[in-house]
Structure 1
Amino acid sequence: MLVALIRPRESHNVTVQGTNVTELRAELAAQVPAGWELVSAHATMKAGGIRTVEGRYERRDGIQEIEAEDTTVLEARGPGG
């Protein structure tokens, strides 16, 4: 019997707009749900000084234990196969 620890592979994006990139990144950081982590924040600028920042969050909690009789089955039971 083989046993493995896995964690879910989930992510979602949030977009904020404003004029100050530092404040926008702080806004993204304040919106991080429990168990998730802000992993990137990409800023773009539009006409008139309006900036758009797209933040990407990934889940970092929820570790699970899976079991299988062999490596092939164990790998198939993991996230994404």
Structure 2
Amino acid sequence: MYIGTIRPDETRTADLTGNSLEEIHAAAVAQLPTGFELVSAPVRMIKGSTALTATATFRRVDGIREVEADTRDGLDTIVPAGWQLLTVRTV
């Protein structure tokens, strides 16, 4: 028996602007959706300005559940579309 831990494979993005890295980070944290974590926010300078822009990427980390199958291949086939297989264990 194979047991897989899965979660929704969902990401969201937000465009941010600020005058410092601290402002960009604060803006990203302020827009953090419930059940998500901030995974990246690469910063770019705006041409002709001291302002910074970033596109924050948030990844869903909640909604975890387990699925079971008799074989490893069977486990892969029952993972729903839009979900990610995180771990696999046997019993």
- The aligned runs of 1:1-81 (5 Å cut-off) are 1-46=1-46, 47-78=48-79, 79=83
- Percent identity of equivalent pairs: 33
**TM-superposition CA deviations, 1:13-63 (whole Å, max 9, x none):** 111113222112111012111110001111000121121011110111111
In 2, distance between residues paired with 1:25 and 1:55?
9
What amino acid does structure 1 have at the position aligned with 2:62? D
Q: Which of the pair is proportionally richer in helix?
A: 1
Q: Count the aligned residue pairs.
A: 81
Report the TM-score when normalising by structure 2: 0.75
Distance 1:75 1:63, change over 3 A: same
Q: Which runs of 5+ in 1 are unaligned?
A: none
Corresponding letter in the other structure for 2:57: R
Q: Which runs of 4+ in 1 moved over 3 A?
A: none
Q: What is the root-mean-square deviation of aligned Cα atoms in Å?
A: 1.8
TM-score (norm 1): 0.83
